[in-house]
Amino acid sequence: MMQTLKATAANAERARGNLAALRNSLAGTGQAIRPDLLTSMSQIDSLIEDARASLSSSDVRSAENSLRRAAYELQKLFKAVGR
């Protein structure tokens, strides 16, 4: 489970970097990033924190659920901003 948490957190960092690159690119043309993408990133971060907390309290089922939801949100985010 810790491996999955680490991999999901690494993917979230990569997504955060992709969002920053997109933000910079759009700013050059006077555009802004879609708010739903930022909301999705916040949700991913929250789910990862929930998974960490669940693992700290030995609630593996909740951790799995949070990580599964985070992975799904990351998949959607990567489709929007690229891998």
Q: How many CB atoms neighbour CB 49 within 10 A?
A: 13
Averaged over 58-83, what is the pLDDT? 93
User: Per residue in 21-34, pLDDT tens?
Assistant: 999 999 989 999 99
CATH assignment at residue 19: 1.20.1270
Confidence category of residue 81, pLDDT binned at 50, 70, 90: confident
pLDDT at 82: 76
The gap between the terminal CA atoms of the chain, to the nearest Å, is 23
* Number of domains into which the chain is organized: 1
pLDDT at 79: 92
Domain of 33?
2-81
Q: What ranges make up the beta strands (E) of the chain?
A: none
Number of H helices, E strands in the chain: 3, 0
User: Per residue in 42-70, pLDDT tens?
Assistant: 999 999 999 999 999 999 999 999 999 99
